Amino acid sequence: NRPKILAFAGSTREASYNKLLVKVAAAGATAAGAEVTYVDLRDLPMPLFDEDLEAKEGMPENARKLKELMVAHDGFLIASPEYNSSITPVLKNAIDWVSRPAPGEPGLVAFTGKVAVIMSASPGGMGGLRGLVHLRSILGNINVLVLPDQKAIPQAFEAFNADGTMKDPKQQDAVENLGAKLSNVLSKLIA
């Protein structure tokens, strides 16, 4: 019974460092036995959350798709940039949409029991660490258990090789280990 992990980045940018980072962690999770699905939020554009729009049209198609994907997986690997010391609007907007219960669904049950590992990469010296404080809190709010292990990669513009691996083998190991940790924790939970 392999754990199922959904991996995504909080950036839609084509050359996103966070997309590279989450894929390194995903490789670690795969090596540890997990079945990892990568999703690019650029492929799931959704309108800015608006309660009137929700009342009129319900959950947008792409938000519903993302929520279904999240519900179908046991855990999440998420790497998000830090924008003005918080998470990106694209990630917050996606979380706000998927956090809304379907008609008849009681409260925030959809993500209860899901486990996440979070990380960030930034050209700056702190690696986006301040955004992770917010991301941890937001995920906790929708009942996702966020593991204490996390990683913020500073000077991201010089952290990656052209093939997406990390230049510093110790960093590569540490990020792969984060993915493996999530896989191992989930293996025990779903056993």
- Binding of ligand FNR at residue 40 (CB under 6 A)? no
- From 7, 8, 17, 183, residue interacting with ligand FNR (rule: CB under 6 A): 17
Which residue, 110 or 121, is less far from ligand FNR as judged by CB? 121
Q: Is residue 1 close enough to count as binding ligand FNR by CB under 6 A?
A: no
The piece of 95-103, 122-130, 142-150, 166-174 that touches ligand FNR (CB under 6 A) is 122-130
CA distance to 38, 52, 88, 107, 152, per residue, from 11 (Å): 13, 26, 7, 28, 15
Name which of residues 68 to 87 contact ligand FNR (CB under 6 A): 81-85
What stretch of H or E contains 173?
Answer: helix 169-190
- For the chain, helix, strand, coil in percent to 5 are 45, 15, 40
Considering only residues 126 through 155, tell me which ones interact with ligand FNR, judged by CB under 6 A: 126, 128
| Helix/strand/coil for 95 | helix
Query: Which among 134, 161, 96, 141 has a CA at the least distance from the CA of 152?
Result: 134
Q: Which residues bind ligand FNR (CB under 6 A)?
A: 11, 13, 16-18, 81-85, 122-124, 126, 128
